[in-house]
Amino acid sequence: MKHIYEKGTDPQKPTLLLLHGTGGNELDLLPLARRIDDSAGVLSVRGNVLENGMPRFFRRLAEGVFDIEDLIFRTKELYEFLDEAAERYEFARSNMIAVGYSNGANIAASLLFHYENALKAAILHHPMVPLRGIELPNLKGTSIFIGAGTNDPICSSEESKELQLLLEKANANVSLHWENRGHQLTADEVEAAAQWYRKL
């Protein structure tokens, strides 16, 4: 997978896994990572799927309607890539925190839905429920920040609450942060995520 890796200045810090939104790329969230922790390592990945020329992490059939078969395949592809990257760049695979926005947050949530110990923690900006009707792995010890907009036209407030509930049922520690905005990522939301991260 096309990506950027930047070694952290503090080897004790986690590696931040950056996952962009639709139409973004591996450069998009680098400023975000620096605001969260400028001494952590960074692995920023570009989605392998193109939708009208725009990179994404998995296919969708329509707005808000995921291609579940492709989602499962791409989640496995990303999970295996993370294992390979940890070996190649010699960082602790068990100390990885995802930072995803929109489509990137959805694939990060899918990692949590499918694999135990896929991530140490996750910052999910405007995620949806990746898929329903499956039993989640035990996420005990996994902390998750969900940033949501009260007027988000793509991800309803009900969907944000449903995702929180599903993750909490799987024993994750979830913090749901609301902004009185739509689907855009605001500076206030980024700052709230950074403050949450510092308390981990």
Q: Which amino acid is at 43?
A: L
Residues marked active site are found at: 102, 152, 183
Checking if the pLDDT of 33 tops 90, the result is yes
pTM across the whole model: 0.98
Q: What is the pLDDT of residue 64?
A: 87
Average pLDDT over the chain reads 97
- Predicted confidence band of residue 187 (pLDDT cuts 50, 70, 90): very high
Checking if the pLDDT of 191 tops 90, the result is yes
Start-end of H helices in the chain = 30-36, 68-89, 103-114, 157-169, 187-198
Dihedral sign, Cα of residue 83, residue 89, residue 95, residue 99: negative
Read off the pLDDT of residues 111-134 as tens digits, 9 standing for 90 and up. Answer: 999 999 999 999 999 999 999 999
